[in-house]
Structure 1
Amino acid sequence: MSKPSEFLWYIPNDTKAGHRGDASDPDHNSLDTLTTQAKALEEHGWKGALIGTGWGRPDTFTLATALVARTTSFEPLIAVRPGYWKPANFASSAATLDHLSGGRVRVNVVSGPDELAAYGDQEGDQAQRYARTKEFMRLVRRLWTEENVTFNGEHFQVANSTVAPRLVPLGDRRHPKLYFGGASEAAERVSATEADVQLFWGEPLDGVRERIERLRTLGRALDRDLPPLEFGLRITTLVRDTTEQAWADAEAKVVKMAEGAAGSWQDHRHGIAVGQQRLLDLAAQGDVLDDNLYTAPGKFGGGGAGTTWLVGSAEDVARSLRKYEDLGISYFVLSDTPYLAEIKRQGTQLLPLLT
């Protein structure tokens, strides 16, 4: 029997508001505002939330720590970048927070473009970038599960390293799960061998099915020595009481985006990654794909998980998410704006249809 799917949200740790047609909030990034969101997630059936990362926004790990201290069951999916962190530093920090929180830490390893020079980092070409990511993930996992680790890689080295505190297994969980995204060939080779969970953005069902099959085949070809790779979906879900109201609101938001009234800020302004380009290219196939995958936002500034939206009533969106689940997706990271109102709405209307 397969385990039930898990549903997370998104905590926007940025000094700017979101970019899905919502207005700016001067208290958007205050600890009280974000704590209110985290507590609402606990109260409305969510497991936790992704907390994004990137230079020029508040530090992700610091925010995750603060929210863990103010909640009781909220699980942060903490985005981290090799190069911003060294493996041993990160392994120790994450082990400490995992210990203090009773095993609530999840990790999303990010390799996309960033303002590397601003924090003293540099990268070579794509092959070098993903080779470094592969070493980072392999070494962090070893530091969590082994003692007296010595590692001499091309990018990272440690000698006789033992992280404290030691992680305590919780059931079959030996360490925080390592989530990873990326659609390039280099990224998929890393995911197939090193990730616990591969995160997809909101592609049509056929695209996700094909990528799952390819990653499973690749894992076998590369002699993956970890438990089977699991899969997740990061997507915007626009839910309203009726199908008609959902589409009216979705189209109105896109009109604002087209006028520039909503801003065009997005995390992918440093260059377009392969996965992002795949989403942008979907608009050429039509404004609506599958049953209710809305591609128009990507034409007008929507990026990342805001490029495509699942639109409809709670029943419509639940039906679509079930189809992804049937393909093998078991982790869902959903969001829409305004964040707090949507945490409550979707927690009340959508989650009961899925859990």
Structure 2
Amino acid sequence: MSLEFLWYIPNQVTPGHRGDAVTVDHNSLDTLTAQAKALEEHGWKGALIGTGWGRPDTLTVAAALAARTATFEPLIAIRPGYWRPAHFASAVATLDHLTGGRVRINIVSGKDNLGAYGEHESDQAHRYARTKEFLQLVRKLWTEENVTFRGEHFQVTDSTVLPRISPHGGRLHPKLYFGGASEAAEHVAATAADVQLFWGEPLVGVQERIERLRSLSEELGREHAPLEFGLRITTFVRDTTEQAWAEAEAKVAEMAKNQGAPPQNPHRPTAVGQQRLLDLATRGDVLDDNLYTAPGKVGGGGAGTTWLVGSPEDVAKSLRKYQDLGITHFVLSDTPYLPEIERQGNQLLPLLRE
């Protein structure tokens, strides 16, 4: 199976990220388009666009960036609570049609500010049961016509989404990426998702989860193509190993000075996957060859909790070890975004494609 390399485009109202300089136009269309075009020019397939209440709408941002690019593929993060399945399926089918099949979707089920957008299902079991139905129904709407569906959370009658999604090679519809480390999340991934995304855990942890998800897929009677696996992680790359570690440690020290800003999503630290990452720091500042856990101690969250640090050769070697476990989708990033798109596109990607 071929490898796919994506980046991350910051989709946030509040400027500044992990010590970056604050700029007024950080989320303007021109700024984000410059990043998307740089991704095209430097060998990246596309980029994840993050979601959360209080952030710009991802589908709108993705549509704007797709209109200004030629090959850029947005990986659009969405929460089922923001959308009804048929409305979402129609919106994505339209964007997929207009872009010639460049759309990917990342379904997010972690807690958010539910009350702000009229949601009440905060219980984990209900949340993931709803997510599973959402995935099942959206896939049906993209691949079948005259769909009637009667679920616990969603229902449609004689529903046909237009325009119909056109197959592109072996791709019948946009890939459905999914994250989550709880038992409930893994059951959803094993049965209803296309790609399970992992955070930057040590190799042994990722290997255990891949083996468990493969077993679950068989046990639960997965009906789709085999589940694929992806890694979402910060890659801190410099010309030499020594330079990379010196600058990474300096950046963490600067983050420690500025620690205390409220998290964008206050529920994130309670998520099972996030807690797994934060717990890694108790095992040491550096795990495996170059997985740096110290950022998680000073406010790093999500993909910024752990970093792969080193020269292009160091980081490529580590990513190839994840590939050997079965990872085929890589969603990488570091800040400042635009220079790192260019640096890692020029120095890291060629090594990964050898």
TM range (shorter): over 0.9
Shift of 1:19: 3.3
CA contact (8 A) 2:114 2:122 kept: no
Number of the residue aligned with 1:306: 304
Q: In the TM superposition, what is the alpha-carbon distance from 1:27 to its structure 2 partner? A: 1.0
Q: Is the 8 A contact 1:266 1:304 kept in 2?
A: no
CA distance in 1, matches of 2:14, 2:137: 34
The partner residue of 1:15 within 5, 13, 16 is 13
Q: Partners in 1 of 2:262 and 2:252 — Cα distance?
A: 14
Unaligned runs of 5+ in 1: none
- Which of 132, 137, 161 is residue 139 of structure 1 equivalent to? 137
Contact 1:177 1:197 in 2 (8 A): yes
Counterpart residue number, 1:205:
203
Task: State the shift of 1:21 in Å.
Answer: 2.6
Quick check: 1:178–1:197 contact (8 Å CA) kept in 2?
Answer: yes
The aligned residue for residue 292 of structure 1 is 290
Instruction: Tell me the equivalent position of 2:156.
Output: 158
- Secondary structure, aligned partner of 1:7: strand
In structure 2, the partner of 1:330 is 328
TM-score by length of 2: 0.98
1:282 aligns with 2:280: yes
1:149 to 143, 147, 150: 147
Secondary structure at 2:229's aligned position in 1? strand
How far 1:270 sits from its partner (Å)?
A: 2.1
| Residue in structure 2 matched with residue 186 of structure 1 by the alignment | 184
Aligned partner of 2:43 in structure 1 is 45
- Give distance in 2, aligned partners of 1:89 and 1:267: 27
1:266, CA displacement in angstroms?
4.3
CA-to-aligned-CA distance 1:219-239 (integer Å, 9 cap, x gap): 100000000000000000000
Q: Secondary structure at the match of 2:111?
A: coil
Query: What is the number of residues matched between the two proteins?
Result: 352
Q: What amino acid does structure 2 have at the position aligned with 1:197?
A: V
Contact 1:15 1:57 in 2 (8 A): yes
**Aligned partner of 1:354: which letter?**
L
Q: Which amino acid aligns with 1:204?
A: P
Q: Deviations over 1:118-146 (max 9, x none)?
A: 11122141100000000000000000000
Residue 243 of structure 1 aligns with which residue? 241
Residue 264 (structure 1) shift: 4.2
Describe the SS at the equivalent of 1:245.
helix
Deviations 1:1-54 (A, max 9, x none): xx2210000010102235323222221100000000000000000000000000
What is the rounded CA distance, in whole Å, between the counterparts of 2:241 and 2:181 in structure 1? 32
Instruction: Measure, in 1, the Cα distance between the counterparts of 2:243 and 2:18.
Output: 16
- 1:332 aligned counterpart, secondary structure: strand
Q: Mind listing any 5+ residue stretches in structure 2 that lack a counterpart?
A: none
- The one-letter amino acid paired with 2:267 is H
SS in 1 for 2:246: helix
CA-based RMSD of the aligned residues comes to 1.1
Question: Partner letter of residue 290 of structure 1?
Answer: D
Offset at residue 311 of structure 1 (A): 0.3
CA 1:291–1:251: 2 relative to 1, 3 Å: same
Contact 1:237 1:310 in 2 (8 A): yes
**Cα gap change, 1:18/1:134 in structure 2, threshold over 3 Å: closer, same or farther?**
farther
C-alpha distance in 1 between matches for 2:122 and 2:303: 27
- Identity fraction in percent: 76
Aligned-partner SS, 1:160: strand
Aligned to 1:83: 81
TM-score (norm 1): 0.97
Q: Which residue of 2 is the match for residue 71 of structure 1?
A: 69
Match of 1:174 among 153, 172, 182: 172
Deviation at residue 267 of structure 1 after TM alignment: 4.5
Partners of 1:292 and 1:311 within 8 A in 2: yes
1:100 paired to 2:98? yes
